[in-house]
Amino acid sequence: MNFETRMIPSMKNATYNHIVVAKDDDQIVGYAYSNISPKEAYSNEFATFFNLSSVSRKNVGCLSQFYIKEGYRQYGIGSILFNMSMKWLKQFDDVEDFFIFVSNGNQNALEFYKRKGFSISHDILDGFITVLRNNKESENIYS
């Protein structure tokens, strides 16, 4: 998974894309990429990421990529980018379901998202990916 195989297809399949970056002077030290996509984008030859019938609306929101450079973590930068991303995702009236896909073993990120109001839904790809989800109606700290 790299820029060509992951980022470009994600952006092309999405209806709306959003990136926020954190900068230290001119240097980018973190980013969060989110998108709004038709739910069908999450069922392809690679995997079915979630049960499409569990989503009532046509589109879903996803925090797709999220990275803070080492040395800049634990200062609250990730929380700011996360909150900005969720604020953007939640502005779409016709989107109720939000997803984050976390690689197996990334306990740190998993706990981070859980504290932000996401819940573990299920595993896919033989446990390689954990699917986290949240719903607009659920209570959370970034609303």
Whole-number Å distance between alpha carbons of 80 and 90: 15
Binding site for ligand COA (CB under 6 A): 66-68, 73-79, 102, 106, 108-109, 111-112, 115
CB of 130 to ligand COA, least distance (A): 9
> Which of 91/108 has CB closer to ligand COA?
108
Asked if residues 31 and 65 have their Cβ atoms less than 8 Å apart, the reply is yes
The one-letter amino acid at 88: W
- Amino acid present at 16: Y
**Residue in the shown chain whose Cβ atom is closest to ligand COA:** 78
Helix (H) or strand (E) holding 89: helix 77-90
In the bound state with ligand COA, the residue whose beta carbon lies nearer, of 6 and 58, is: 6
Of 27 and 74, CB closest to ligand COA = 74
Task: Look up residue 50 and give its DSSP letter.
Answer: S
